[in-house]
Amino acid sequence: MKKLILTALSAALVLGMSACANKSGSGASEKELNSKSAPIVTEEELGLRDENLYTEEGVKPVEAKYTKAAPGTAKRFERSYENAPPLIPHSVDGLLPITKANNACLGCHMPEVAPSVKAVPIPPTHFMDFRTQKKLDHLAQQRFNCSQCHVPQANVQPLVKNNFTPGYRSGEEKKKSNLIDTLNEGVH
């Protein structure tokens, strides 16, 4: 069954390539292109971990060394790109799971508290209801789960080479969000 599915996928890939080749004027007929045998792709070649995709037996998670630093003591990584959610630079031991009734992040990151404890304040986008376009005097209900977007910093080697270079409109955006301004550009 698995081989049949992979063969069908391979055939679809070859057919798609033949359609592109014919449109580009390669001169090869569809019959000539379809007569070549499709390459066989094994399950192990489909993923990055070179393991059977139908079992987790023997699979080890990527080794990640998360920071154990206390809040306010760790060096912060730059944002991955402009307005990317910043990574959490401190240990999250004892802070998770986050619920609507129990969110330890708010104790340091609420805008009125953050400057006094040298924490990054929660940005204005988290106090906005985008459906109604109204500013709120409290954290938007959709934004209570901080760990949905923010993850702890870890020293991990990438599985695939990444040539991405982020572009920032200013150097300040490596450390701070201007998403609310960006969202409102051109809105009057």
pLDDT in tens, 65-107: 888 888 888 888 888 888 899 999 999 999 999 999 999 999 9
For residue 181, give its domain range. Answer: 67-156+167-188
Indicate if 72 and 150 belong to the same structural domain.
Answer: yes
Residue 145 is part of a domain; what is its CATH number? 1.10.1130.10
Task: Report if residue 55 sits inside a domain.
Answer: no
17-26, 44-53, 113-122: the lowest-pLDDT one: 17-26
When divided into structural domains, the chain yields a total of 2
Residue 9 has pLDDT above 50, yes or no: no
Q: How high is the pLDDT of residue 30?
A: 57
Indicate if 42 and 93 belong to the same structural domain.
Answer: no
Task: Report if residue 117 sits inside a domain.
Answer: yes
Task: Report if residue 134 sits inside a domain.
Answer: yes
Indicate if 112 and 71 belong to the same structural domain.
Answer: yes
Indicate if 102 and 14 belong to the same structural domain.
Answer: no
Indicate if 118 and 183 belong to the same structural domain.
Answer: yes
Indicate if 92 and 184 belong to the same structural domain.
Answer: yes
Indicate if 39 and 72 belong to the same structural domain.
Answer: no
Task: Report if residue 139 sits inside a domain.
Answer: yes
pLDDT-based confidence at residue 50 (cuts at 50, 70, 90) = low
What's this model's pTM, rounded to 2 decimal places? Answer: 0.64
Task: Report if residue 103 sits inside a domain.
Answer: yes
Task: Report if residue 51 sits inside a domain.
Answer: no
Q: How high is the pLDDT of residue 140?
A: 95
Mean pLDDT of the chain: 79
For the four alpha carbons of 69, 73, 77 and 83, in that order, the dihedral sign comes to positive
Task: Report if residue 161 sits inside a domain.
Answer: no
